[in-house]
Amino acid sequence: MHSRFSVPAGAGGQATCLRERALAALAAGPWPDKLAAVRAIADDARVDAARELAAAAPLPGRPARPELVSPAQVKQRSMATVEGRAALLHALAHIEFNAVNLALDIVWRFSGMPEAFYRDWLRVAREEAHHFDLLNRRLAALGYAYGDFPAHNGLWEMAEKTRGDLLARLALVPRTLEARGLDASPLIRDKLAGAGDAESAAILDIILRDEIGHVAIGNRWYRHLCAQAGADPVACYAELAQRYGAPRLRGPFNLEARRAAGFDEAELAALTAPAA
């Protein structure tokens, strides 16, 4: 099959730097090409931290389907039917597709960070690609494919809003939207298990385990930048959440997973404090 994804001119495969490869993977539209491009980034690819890169194509690359609609148009369906469970797995696959894009975006867009920063987010991109793959295979087993249901674009919208501000990106994407996944995931897992779908529930277990690591990476680099700026992480978060219109988080919170992901007690207390 001919791939519509191409490595930047003059890159010559192996010589290409990690952040260039991330940009190329982000621009890839068909999901098999995107997954292949993520997997092709070598562990020891050179990190070009200082370079400013420019995107040549509209970002992110995505397939023609799923159709993107407003969140209100995404229907909740019953877990009692195969179609209902497929719709839920599809919504999760779409979140993972966006998560691959978000991890790649943070790698190419923001220059000047330590090498470990880029390697951390490359690991996240790979794990998100694995999650997408697991869900997509499960969808196929149920007779469906990625693209069969409409989806919404909420995750990428926050990426757009924070495109010029790495501290805000870290605060609001991994530490807010992905962390919300830690809260939601056990409930979704139980719904699937309750409907007798042990295979899908097992995928949710893998995702939750890995997502704790992603939020931990978000916390690690958020704290790094706060320390550099001499900012208080809790006060800084409140300010960024307001400035960028972050969703107000509602419980129940998965405090155990949030602690494992590195949120401290002051941050957990702020979650449940009344809005200022």
Q: Which residues contact Fe ion by CB under 5 A?
A: 96, 99, 128, 131, 178, 211, 214
Decide: 72 and 154 in contact? Cβ < 8 Å: no
Decide: 124 and 103 in contact? Cβ < 8 Å: yes
Shortest distance, CB of residue 207 to Fe ion, whole angstroms?
Answer: 5
Q: Which is nearer to Fe ion, 33 or 127 (CB)?
A: 127
Shortest distance, CB of residue 276 to Fe ion, whole angstroms?
Answer: 29
Q: Which is nearer to Fe ion, 46 or 259 (CB)?
A: 259
Shortest distance, CB of residue 197 to Fe ion, whole angstroms?
Answer: 19
Q: Which is nearer to Fe ion, 134 or 168 (CB)?
A: 134
Decide: 96 and 131 in contact? Cβ < 8 Å: yes
Shortest distance, CB of residue 84 to Fe ion, whole angstroms?
Answer: 22
Shortest distance, CB of residue 21 to Fe ion, whole angstroms?
Answer: 20
In whole angstroms, what is the distance from residue 34 CA to residue 43 CA? 17
For the stretch 121-139, what's the b/e string if a residue is b when 16 or more beta carbons lie within 10 angstroms of its beta carbon? bbbbbbbbbbbbbbbbebb
Q: From the centroid of its chain, how far is CA 203?
A: 16
Task: From residue 56, give the alpha-carbon distance in Å to each of 8, 9, 31, 47, 229.
Answer: 9, 11, 19, 20, 32
Q: What is the Cα gyration radius of the chain?
A: 19
Sequence letter at residue 94: H
Q: Which is nearer to Fe ion, 17 or 170 (CB)?
A: 170
Q: Which is nearer to Fe ion, 17 or 22 (CB)?
A: 22
Query: What does DSSP assign to residue 177?
Result: I
Q: Which is nearer to Fe ion, 48 or 178 (CB)?
A: 178
Shortest distance, CB of residue 95 to Fe ion, whole angstroms?
Answer: 7
Decide: 219 and 240 in contact? Cβ < 8 Å: no
In whole angstroms, what is the distance from residue 156 CA to residue 104 CA? 12
Nearest residue to Fe ion, scored by beta-carbon proximity? 214
